[in-house]
Amino acid sequence: MASLGALSAVSVPAAPVLAADAAPNPWFDPSYVTDNWDTIVGHLGQHVRLTVGAVLLGALIALPLALLARRTRFLAGPVLGLSSIVYTIPSLAMFAFLAPFTGSLSATTVLVGLTLYTLVILVRNFLAGLQGVPADVREAARGMGYGSARLFLRVDLPLALPAFMAGLRIATVSTVALVTVGVITGNGGLGQLIVGGLNANFYRAEIVTGAVGCVLLALVADVLLAGLERLLTPWTRAAR
Amino acid sequence: MHSRARILVPLALTGLLLTACGESGSSGTGGAEASGGSASGDACAPVAGEQLVVLEDDQRLQNADNVVPAVNMATAMANPALLPALDAVSAALTTEELIELNAAVDLERQSAEDVAAAWVEENVDAATLEQGSGPVVVGGSNFTESTILANVYADVLGAAGFDASVREVGNRELYLPALISGSEIQVFPEYLSTVTDELNELTNGPTDDGPATGDVQETRTALQPLAEQAGLVFGEPSEAADQNAFAVTQALADELGVATLSELADACGDGSLVLGGPTECPERPQCQPGLEETYGLQFADFRELDAGGPLTKAALQQGEVSIGLVFSSDGALAQQG
């Protein structure tokens, strides 16, 4: 015990107080953030990487699926249904199912799970966007000799872009929240702080840092995507 | 003595206040509190107090969950200096020290890294360690004690020449396979009985009753073949244990003059004890039924609280339960004053 005398002597209170209140435990504590800046930034970086990775991968998978569902009408039901069913798998169970294949501790487990979850939002929004492109416009473009690649890039994409971006924004915000569940593999981004704080006798400053960090990250990501949408669709502003 | 008086005076005041509250009568044991501990029939009614003490589990009702280093077998074979360095931690670590380490992080809000480094500095003589080399990753779960122990292991391995780092992991179901494969983590601060039963389930399928017992050596012997089969090597179990334990307030322990559960059973034959614990306690063999059968304790009442969490500790301190389930290395058990 002598070894720890120096550590504990500093803050042992003179009068007995409840153990949980032995040290002040404020909800907001700037010194927690400054003292643990490197840890917080590390978790934040992982949170951003997982979110960006999952949404990008999700978009890459969702786009062909949406195109396929539009082209072959009878596939639309199964594609949408399947992505919805995947979404209903609880995230805790999802990571547990994936772990044996993707590695128990690797961030890949979380990335794959999150990607699957983005599909339900992205496929639906992408398909809605594509179906919103007027058939006569596409007919006219074909008549002008547009091939299918050019038709997609010059006609479908610009007209469906607002629906695409809406899907990406919802998927991004929901993924920011879902990353925290990755805690069960040790790759939960800011979720590590939330669970770590809960397990350290309710360290409120740590819990709040994780939670507020998630909220801010979601807001920033949404604002950035909204800005990107404005940049990509200048004609929507000119029309107003 | 000086520090003791400092605790006792406010304690007496708290007691008086609670007595007053008890008379106005919201709690079921209010009457018992009011008449104090001397009358027969309520000798073991709750007594409020800040300082909690664990009563020794002298009949070994609880499984021995001593801290024990788990190492991937291939890593241990390739680095003969690794296990001796971790055993040096086991040799030096006691439950009291583990409580102090947890209290420094959970109550005083120091960082786990600093607390671990200070302990290693004080308790492990780096000069006596066999030297090794190469990278080693120590896993730690996302709770205070595991994080501290992972940092202690990493610091000691660092002192022994290894390039050691700590990696935060999640649930045991996920990190145990990773430790067995050894590709992502190679060392983990485990708990003897828990890991024995877990490895037993991995090897032999789910059972109701695992091979772990309240005896450290017995459990160690049961663990040996399971570990070999899984591809793990375990170091020496330390004296420090984080297992289910039953705590009372120091005030009640002093009043009754008890230090073990057997002594408590002798002192509380009148059935005035109030037990606090998790919802499942009245059914679990190592909780209420175990206390009744192994120790012959009789309870006047059971209060549904939590598993060694803030509810149980507050209920003990505020005199709502006489005895409650806690974890033996909880920082809240640190000696105050």
Taking only the tens place, the pLDDT of each residue in B51-93 is: 999 999 999 899 999 999 999 999 999 999 999 999 999 999 9
The average pLDDT across A38-61 equals: 95
Residues of B in Cβ contact (< 8 Å) with A113:
none
Quick one: pLDDT at residue B67?
96
Asked if B276 and B251 touch (Cβ cutoff 8 Å), the reply is no
Quick one: pLDDT at residue A239?
54
The average pLDDT across B313-331 equals: 92
**pLDDT tens by residue, B175-206:** 998 999 998 899 999 999 999 999 998 888 88
Quick one: pLDDT at residue A22?
53
Q: Which of B148, B144, B88 is nearest to B116 (CA)?
A: B148
Best mutation target among B109, B166, B249 (most A Cβ atoms within 10 Å) is B109
Least Cα separation, residue B320 to chain A (angstroms): 14
ipTM for this model: 0.73
A37 touches chain B (CB under 8 A): no
> For A22, which of B107, B115, B310 is closest by C-beta distance?
B107
Listed in order, strand segments (DSSP E) in B27-142 are: 52-55, 67-72, 135-140
- In A, minimum Cα distance to B176 occurs at A104
Asked if B89 and B187 touch (Cβ cutoff 8 Å), the reply is no
Best mutation target among B108, B168, B169, B326 (most A Cβ atoms within 10 Å) is B168
Task: Name every residue whose Cβ is closer than 8 Å to that of residue A44 and which is 6 or more positions away in sequence.
Answer: A189, A190, A213, A217
Residues of A in Cβ contact (< 8 Å) with B8:
none
Task: Name every residue whose Cβ is closer than 8 Å to that of residue A53 and which is 6 or more positions away in sequence.
Answer: A111, A114, A115
Best mutation target among A37, A104, A190, A193 (most B Cβ atoms within 10 Å) is A104
pLDDT exceeds 50 at position B319: yes
- Contact state of B170 with A184 under an 8 Å Cβ cutoff: yes
Q: Which of B241, B278, B269, B190 is nearest to B57 (CA)?
A: B241
> Which CATH superfamily does the domain covering A33-232 fall into?
MetI-like (1.10.3720.10)
Q: Domain residues of chain A, as ranges? A: 33-232
Residue B26 — pLDDT band, cuts 50, 70, 90? very low
Quick one: pLDDT at residue B337?
58
Residue B284 — pLDDT band, cuts 50, 70, 90? confident
**pLDDT tens by residue, A191-225:** 999 988 888 888 889 999 999 999 999 999 999 99
CA atoms B8, B14, B20, B23: torsion sign: negative
Best mutation target among A1, A7, A206 (most B Cβ atoms within 10 Å) is A7
Residue with tokens 């872009």: A161
pLDDT exceeds 90 at position B32: no
Task: Provide the token pair at B181.
Answer: 């494969």
Task: Name every residue whose Cβ is closer than 8 Å to that of residue B249 and which is 6 or more positions away in sequence.
Answer: B46, B47, B48, B49, B50, B51, B52, B53, B316, B317, B319
- Contact state of A20 with B7 under an 8 Å Cβ cutoff: no
Task: Provide the token pair at A212.
Answer: 């507020």
- In B, minimum Cα distance to A18 occurs at B50
Q: Domain residues of chain B, as ranges? A: 2-61+243-333, 67-234
pLDDT exceeds 90 at position B328: yes
Q: Which residue has the higher pLDDT, B232 or A95?
A: B232
Lay out the sheet containing B323-327: strands in order across.
B52-55, B244-249, B323-327, B273-277, B299-304
The average pLDDT across B215-224 equals: 94
A184 touches chain B (CB under 8 A): yes
Quick one: pLDDT at residue B13?
42
Query: What b/e sequence results for A141-172 when a residue is b if at least 16 CB atoms lie within 10 Å of its CB, and e otherwise?
Result: beeeebeeeebbeebbbebbbbbbbbbbbbbb
Residue A130 — pLDDT band, cuts 50, 70, 90? very high
- Contact state of A8 with B103 under an 8 Å Cβ cutoff: yes
Q: Which residue has the higher pLDDT, B265 or B31?
A: B265
> For A1, which of B96, B167, B178 is closest by C-beta distance?
B96
**pLDDT tens by residue, B201-212:** 888 888 878 899
**B2-61+243-333 under CATH 3.50.50.60, yes or no:** no
- Contact state of A184 with B171 under an 8 Å Cβ cutoff: yes
Residues of B in Cβ contact (< 8 Å) with A195:
142
CATH code linked to domain B67-234: 3.10.105.10
Backbone angles phi, psi at B183, to 5 degrees: -80, -30
**Stretch (H or E) spanning B276:** strand B273-277
- Contact state of A4 with B170 under an 8 Å Cβ cutoff: no
Please state, rounded to an integer, the average pLDDT across all residues of chain A. 86
